[in-house]
């Protein structure tokens, strides 16, 4: 929460700037903090995973220069593909997406300069500069006839699809959350209900900040680049249906587990102590959910492998984000409390269907990430020593002890 006043401190005239630009300045401030910590504390750019060598002679190497022009063709083709996607999909002509596309319309020259600078710096520092963007440029120059690295090209195009789908969605959510939070203050809250309302929205705002930065700043310079992407149709399907515009249709027509006009606050309003405990528990699980994104930092992304986190909260289980998120849905919607038994049963089954989708997401993610030896080692460790694994062993030992005593 101190991050918002921090932005206002460095930009005291921020109130005269549009909410969209305020959001950008805020995200850039957080990005700068994360990037500086990576460079000067973790010194991540010096580690082998970046694939960079920082050799000034590369700028004079004819092979590097030749590959660079091909890569620029690949960059132009990438931007053309995104422009084609956005211009042909009716969804992106909706007013809701205006903050994202107006940002590019107003600052395209600055954004393009940054992209070109990063591509140039990365290319001339790579040990093996013929990456997916280079392969795309080669395909364009040969009109698709010249053989190329199909694996690298496929991974690059899928990664482009991940950014193209998620970045406008997350950025617009972030802008609207920023606008909302500018009209509220936690310090003006009069009771727990107002504290809960603010922290609930702020939790998703914090998550969206990290998520948006993660999608926008994938680069080898900070070892936050995409190593590989999910390649299966089922893996993509169970992920993208959880987001707009698909989830709005599915949640209304197939997974509507919410009782109209009734949620946990209404249920416990007349019991202040229980209201505070229940609301506090929801905020606790939301905090765990936010920490999962914060811990990934610059490397957050769906459908890709961009690095590994194995300390808290990832030492609880392999999927603390999904577990905490699904628990909050049960606690907020309380589908088991309904007008009658059958309505409650239907609501519970609908929410179990949502839980099943996230189980499928977790399964596909594990399969995708398990290509990395480090993830396989982490998976083995957390399955044996993670908090949930220790709880399961403790409960199993306790039940066996009780069973022996009964017998």
**CB 64 within 8 Å of CB 124:** yes
**CB 191 within 8 Å of CB 6:** no
Q: Which two tokens stand for residue 249?
A: 């249709």
Q: What is the pLDDT of residue 163?
A: 97
Category of 134 on φ-ψ map: left (φ > 0), alpha (ψ -120 to 50) or beta: alpha
The DSSP bridge partners found for residue 126 are 52
Write the CA distances from 82 to 68, 91, 123, 159, integer angstroms: 21, 14, 22, 12
**Residues in CB range of 19: below 8 A, 6 or more apart:** 99, 175, 178, 179, 182
pLDDT digits (tens, 9 = 90+) for 141-159: 987 666 667 888 999 999 9
Average pLDDT over residues 40-58: 79
Per-residue pLDDT at 236 exceeds 70: yes
Q: What is the pLDDT of residue 16?
A: 54
Q: What is the pLDDT of residue 261?
A: 79
Per-residue pLDDT at 66 exceeds 60: yes
Per-residue pLDDT at 84 exceeds 80: yes
C-alpha span between 187 and 228 (Å, rounded)? 44
Enumerate the domain spans of the chain.
3-190, 233-406
Q: What is the pLDDT of residue 45?
A: 62
Coil, strand or helix: which one is 304? strand
Cis peptide before 289 (omega within 30 of 0): no
pLDDT digits (tens, 9 = 90+) for 310-361: 889 999 999 999 999 999 999 999 999 988 899 999 999 999 999 999 999 9
C-alpha span between 139 and 148 (Å, rounded)? 7
C-alpha span between 229 and 301 (Å, rounded)? 10
Write the CA distances from 335 to 13, 268, 327, 332, 351, integer angstroms: 46, 14, 12, 9, 8
Concatenated DSSP letters for 22-79?
A: HHHHHHHHHHHHHHHIIIIII-GGGSGGG-B---GGGGG-HHHHHHHHHHHHHHHHHH
Span between the terminal Cα atoms of the chain, in Å:
55
**CB 155 within 8 Å of CB 229:** yes
DSSP 126: B
What's the maximum distance between 2 C-alpha atoms anywhere in the chain?
81
Average pLDDT over residues 35-63: 82
Q: What is the pLDDT of residue 17?
A: 73
**CB 331 within 8 Å of CB 278:** yes
Per-residue pLDDT at 15 exceeds 90: no
C-alpha span between 303 and 305 (Å, rounded)? 7
DSSP 124: T
Write the CA distances from 237 to 23, 173, 318, integer angstroms: 30, 21, 21
C-alpha span between 60 and 392 (Å, rounded)? 60
Closest residue by Cα to residue 210 from 31, 47, 78: 31
In sign, the C-alpha dihedral spanning 264, 270, 272, 274 is: negative
């Amino acid at each position: 929460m101190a991050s918002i006043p921090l932005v206002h401190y460095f930009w005291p005239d921020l109130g005269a700037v549009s909410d969209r630009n305020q959001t950008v300045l805020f995200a850039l401030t957080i990005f700068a903090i994360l990037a500086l910590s990576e460079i000067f504390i973790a010194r991540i750019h010096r580690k082998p995973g970046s694939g960079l060598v920082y050799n000034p002679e590369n700028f004079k190497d004819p092979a590097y220069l030749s590959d660079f022009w091909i890569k620029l063709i690949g960059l132009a083709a990438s931007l053309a593909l995104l422009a084609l996607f956005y211009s042909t999909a009716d969804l992106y002509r909706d007013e809701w997406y205006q903050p994202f596309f107006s940002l590019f319309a107003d600052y395209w020259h600055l954004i393009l300069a940054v992209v070109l600078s990063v591509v140039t710096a990365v290319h001339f520092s790579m040990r093996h500069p013929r990456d997916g963007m280079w392969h795309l440029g080669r395909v364009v120059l040969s009109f698709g006839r010249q053989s190329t690295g199909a694996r690298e090209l496929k991974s690059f195009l899928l990664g482009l699809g991940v950014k193209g789908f998620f970045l406008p969605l997350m950025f617009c959510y972030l802008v609207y959350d920023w606008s909302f939070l500018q009209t509220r203050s936690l310090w003006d809250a009069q009771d727990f209900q107002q504290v809960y309302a603010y922290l609930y929205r702020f939790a998703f705002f914090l998550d969206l900040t990290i998520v948006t930065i993660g999608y926008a700043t994938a680069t080898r310079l900070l070892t936050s680049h995409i190593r590989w992407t999910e390649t299966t149709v089922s893996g993509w399907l169970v992920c993208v249906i959880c987001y707009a515009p698909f989830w709005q249709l599915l949640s209304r027509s197939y997974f509507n587990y919410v009782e109209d006009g009734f949620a946990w606050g209404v249920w416990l309003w007349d019991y202040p102590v229980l209201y505070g405990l229940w609301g506090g528990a929801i905020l606790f699980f939301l905090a765990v959910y936010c920490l999962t994104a914060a811990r990934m930092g610059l490397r957050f992304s769906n459908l890709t492998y961009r690095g590994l986190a194995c300390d808290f909260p990832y030492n609880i289980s392999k999927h603390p984000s999904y577990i905490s998120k699904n628990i909050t849905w049960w606690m907020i919607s309380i589908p088991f409390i309904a007008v009658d038994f059958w309505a409650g049963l239907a609501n519970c089954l609908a929410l179990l269907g949502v839980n099943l989708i996230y189980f499928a997401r977790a399964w596909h993610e594990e399969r995708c990430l398990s290509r990395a030896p480090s993830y396989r080692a982490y998976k083995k460790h957390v399955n044996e020593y993670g908090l949930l694994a220790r709880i399961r062993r403790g409960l199993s030992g306790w039940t066996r002890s009780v069973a022996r005593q009964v017998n």
